[in-house]
Amino acid sequence: MSSFNTKIYLPAQAAAETEATIIKWLVGEGDLFKKEQVLAEVESAKSTFDFEAPCDGTVGKLLYPEGTSVPFENAVMEITTSDESMRSVVSPATESTAQEAGVPKMELSMGNPEKTTVKDISMLGIGIYLPDRVVKTDELLSQFPDITEEYVFGVTGIKERRWAAQDEKPSDMAYQASVKAIERSGLTPKDIGAIVVSTTTPDVVMPSTACILQGKLGARGIPAFDLNAACSGWLYGISMAKGLILSGIADNVLVTAVDMQSRVLDKNDKDTYFLFGDGAGATVISGSRPGHLIKQEILSADSDGLHMARRHYPGYEVPDNSTDFDPWVRLDGKSLFRVATESFSSLVRDLIVKSSWEATDVRWVVPHQANGRIIKAAARKSGIPFERFYLNIDRVGNTSSASIPIALSEIENGLQAGDKVIFCTVGAGITAAGLSLEW
């Protein structure tokens, strides 16, 4: 049986996925391999999988280096084989190639072909809201006579934070940020096709804060819902918005993050009392208008961290009669420090690879403003200098899921077209999320 040369492709994954990243080659040029032998470790947007050999053969040439993102329609390896079934091999992701090879076109019995086209998904305008009241650390020290402002700053990186007025509600802050985001996107509320609100401090248990926001905006008749991924919520919300767009439900999705933690802090708990500020941040994610291109996303959660950040009572206020349960935010600081440091740094490294960038390409890393020491420790492990991590935690504190859009709003005027930006966050759950963006 005579041998011949051919090319092989990565197996296609979910319909919405267009490419995958070669994490590690397990063979080299000239190596012999057997059918079903693992040739490479590969990662797509939704899974990590082994790339197995479709036949026996010999590696001729590896067409892409490790760390490269490869479109599914492109071959990844040239091989020599005597397996006759490989003479007509085609890209599993390219119908036109299959037709050229004589494979009949399969007609789909349902669905709009345009809906299956993968769109570029972009972030449009950013809007934020910070309460007027500035709370400096010395205002909070009456409960802790042995603690100084210098100590708090050294441990947290925070000098002051913003706290909401007594008559403000989370939906009020969300509305202020959302109006600005919609205006700066060149849209009106009537152009919004769905609303996603990230919050751990909703106005009420039900209805959702998203529906309350919908009423304030006058954007009736569109889907609106809350999600709770804690500090990771804004990035989770952007991924949900992307899914709504790709499924054809909406073209422009408002994603708003709002948290009002000032009302749910125990004044006797030094691990939480100095950390949190209030605020809201919003953006519009669009599949129909050009903007700042979303490149890659990473979402994860690990329930082993359930104890690390928690609150057992819902809402943004604590009832007067709460002696039978603990209604406050509680943190396991030491555990969080270790997990957050490793998660932040690995998210940055993984996003660089998934986006086919080099570390030197990244203009800014905009992390969740969790804690100044955590961010500094994460920067050391990420491969990107600390000077390119943007921090505003000293002035606004930890505003939970609103912290990334609030920080982004402070640097957006200095960003230029083509600048590469990475977002990363860790939250209660333990949740983690990352996103890469080309400005």
Q: What pLDDT is attached to residue 274? A: 86
Buried b or exposed e, range 395-409, using 16+ CB within 10 angstroms = bbbbbbbbbbbbbbb
DSSP track, 56-101: SEEEEEE-S-TT-EEETTSEEEEEEE--GGGGG---TT-HHHHHHT
Q: What pLDDT is attached to residue 148? A: 93
Sign of CA dihedral 379, 358, 72, 62: negative
Q: What pLDDT is attached to residue 330? A: 72
Among 225, 337, 243, which residue's Cα sits nearest to residue 297? 243
Q: What is the mean pLDDT of the chain?
A: 86
What is residue 215's three-state secondary structure? helix
User: Does the annotation count 392 as an active-site position?
Assistant: no
User: Does the annotation count 321 as an active-site position?
Assistant: no
Distance CA 329, CA 322 (A): 14
Distance CA 73, CA 93 (A): 5
Q: Does an H or E element contain 259, and which?
A: strand 252-259
What is residue 327's three-state secondary structure? coil
User: Choosing from 231, 252, 371, 424, which is the catalytic residue?
Assistant: 231
Spatial strand order of the sheet with 32-33 comes to 4-9, 75-81, 57-62, 32-33
128-139: pLDDT as tens digits:
999 999 999 999
22-46: pLDDT as tens digits:
989 999 999 999 998 999 988 876 6
Higher pLDDT, 310 or 30: 30
User: Choosing from 228, 252, 371, 398, which is the catalytic residue?
Assistant: 398
Per-residue pLDDT, averaged over 379-393, amounts to 91
Q: Which of 260-264, 303-307, 314-318, 330-334 has the highest mean pLDDT?
A: 260-264
Check: CB of residue 286 under 8 Å from CB of residue 245.
yes
Sign of CA dihedral 177, 180, 184, 185: positive
Per-residue pLDDT, averaged over 254-266, amounts to 91
Q: What pLDDT is attached to residue 101? A: 37
pLDDT level of residue 322 (50, 70, 90 thresholds): low
pLDDT level of residue 260 (50, 70, 90 thresholds): very high
- Does residue 283 surpass a pLDDT of 50? yes
Check: CB of residue 217 under 8 Å from CB of residue 240.
no
pLDDT level of residue 116 (50, 70, 90 thresholds): very low
Higher pLDDT, 90 or 271: 271
Higher pLDDT, 433 or 344: 433
CB-side exposure of 95: number of CA atoms within 13 Å?
9
- Does residue 267 surpass a pLDDT of 50? yes
Q: What pLDDT is attached to residue 281? A: 98
- Does residue 144 surpass a pLDDT of 60? yes
- Does residue 92 surpass a pLDDT of 80? no
Check: CB of residue 36 under 8 Å from CB of residue 52.
yes
What is residue 209's three-state secondary structure? helix
Q: What pLDDT is attached to residue 319? A: 64
- Does residue 362 surpass a pLDDT of 70? yes
Would you tell me the crossing angle of helices 372-382 and 149-156 to the nearest 10 degrees? 30
pLDDT level of residue 370 (50, 70, 90 thresholds): confident
User: Does the annotation count 55 as an active-site position?
Assistant: no
Which domains are delineated in the chain?
Answer: 4-116 (2.40.50.100), 122-438 (3.40.47.10)
Phi-psi region of 49 (alpha: psi -120 to 50; beta: other; left: phi over 0): beta
Q: What percent of the chain has pLDDT over 90?
A: 59
Is the peptide bond between 430 and the residue preceding it cis, with omega within 30 degrees of 0?
Answer: yes
Distance CA 423, CA 281 (A): 14
Check: CB of residue 210 under 8 Å from CB of residue 233.
no
What six digits make up the tokens of 382? 């990420």
Q: What pLDDT is attached to residue 103? A: 34
**Least reliable range by pLDDT among 13-22, 177-186, 300-309, 421-430:** 13-22
Check: CB of residue 336 under 8 Å from CB of residue 304.
no
Task: Express the helix, strand and coil content of the chain in percent, nearest 5 each.
Answer: 30, 30, 40
Q: What pLDDT is attached to residue 102? A: 37
Q: What pLDDT is attached to residue 264? A: 82
DSSP track, 265-291: --TT-TTTTTTB--EEEEEEEESSS--
User: Choosing from 55, 368, 371, 424, which is the catalytic residue?
Assistant: 368
